[in-house]
Amino acid sequence: MRIQQHPILNFEPAEEIPFYFEGKKLTGKLGDTIASALHANNIRMLRHEHRPRGLFCAIGNCASCLMEVDGRPNVRVCVEKLRPGMVVKIQKGNGTLGKEEK
């Protein structure tokens, strides 16, 4: 969900950025991080290591939000900017490198 109206801040309409999450095509906005784009699409479970994990600190401190992005594991999606066509996946445990994936 995105903020519709705000008494102090002004969120200008921004260019739409298409990306993929678990094979599904979604849309974020220019300026989004991967995490903010997923949240805007109501997706909060980002990683699964025995238990589901999500965003916690949002500024790159805590490593709760590690995901697989374009085949690369352990990307801190709270600080990684969204780019067009990114392939984002829920990371299982420590993640795997693209070619090792079974």
Residues that bind other proteins (CB under 8 A): 1-9, 11, 31-33, 35-36, 39-40, 44-46, 51-62, 64, 78-79, 81
Residue 64: CB minimum distance to other proteins, A: 8
Residue 11: CB minimum distance to other proteins, A: 4
Nearer to other proteins, 4 or 102 (CB): 4
Residues in the chain: 102
Nearer to other proteins, 25 or 51 (CB): 51
Nearer to other proteins, 18 or 30 (CB): 30
Which of 72, 81, 82, 33 shows the shortest CA–CA distance to 55?
Answer: 33
Residue 56: CB minimum distance to other proteins, A: 6
Are 64 and 38 a contacting pair, CB within 8 Å?
Answer: no
Which of 51, 60, 53, 85 shows the shortest CA–CA distance to 71?
Answer: 85
Please report, for residues 5, 41, 54, 98, the alpha-carbon distance to residue 44 in angstroms, rounded to integers and kept in the order given: 22, 9, 6, 23
Nearer to other proteins, 46 or 95 (CB): 46
